[in-house]
Amino acid sequence: MARGVVKHRSRLSRSSDFRRVYRQGSSTASRFLVLYSFRRSPEAGDEGPRLGLSVSKKLGGAVVRNRIKRLLREAFRACEGRLAKEYDYVVIARPQLTELIARDDKGAVEQALRELLQRAGLLVAEVDA
């Protein structure tokens, strides 16, 4: 698999999956992002945490939106080892996120996502091997 690519099976793509997370899940928000999380049933299989992204056209053109999605996927992958496997997540980018990215601060998007996941109580403590 190419470097920097989230496996397609670990992504939410169907609108029915997004709808279920929005309606039945819980949400947490920050200045930069909104996070919805939903615990899947055990029968759904153990395929790991799945991510869905929503980036509005209000944030910019296709190039800007695709960059935001790429940065969010990278940030999610960095936190993936500390996330419960039975959850689906939807991350919605707010307009202030473009300001954060414009500062060109390396790791700022990852930090914003990690803080939001911590606030939601979804990060488990890292286990030392």
In the sheet with 26-29, reading across from the earlier edge strand, the strands are 26-29, 33-39, 87-93, 50-54
d(CA 39, CA 84): 9
**Does a structural domain hold residue 2?**
no
Counted domains in the chain: 1
What mean pLDDT comes out for the span 46-58?
91
pTM here is: 0.86
At residue 118, the pLDDT reads 95
**Does a structural domain hold residue 127?**
no
**Does a structural domain hold residue 128?**
no
DSSP string, 50-91: EEEEE--GGG-SHHHHHHHHHHHHHHHHHHGGGB-TTEEEEE
The answer to whether residue 94 scores a pLDDT higher than 90 is yes
Domain that holds residue 95: 8-119
| Region of residue 30 (left: phi > 0; alpha: psi -120 to 50; beta: else) | beta
d(CA 67, CA 117): 21
**Does a structural domain hold residue 125?**
no
First to last CA, the chain: 26
**What is the CATH classification number for the domain harbouring 112?**
3.30.230.10
**Does a structural domain hold residue 37?**
yes
The answer to whether residue 42 scores a pLDDT higher than 60 is yes
- Residues paired with 50 in a beta bridge: 88
**Does a structural domain hold residue 115?**
yes
Please, which pLDDT band fits residue 126 given cuts at 50, 70 and 90? low
d(CA 42, CA 72): 27
Kindly report the average pLDDT of the chain as a whole number. 88
**Does a structural domain hold residue 67?**
yes
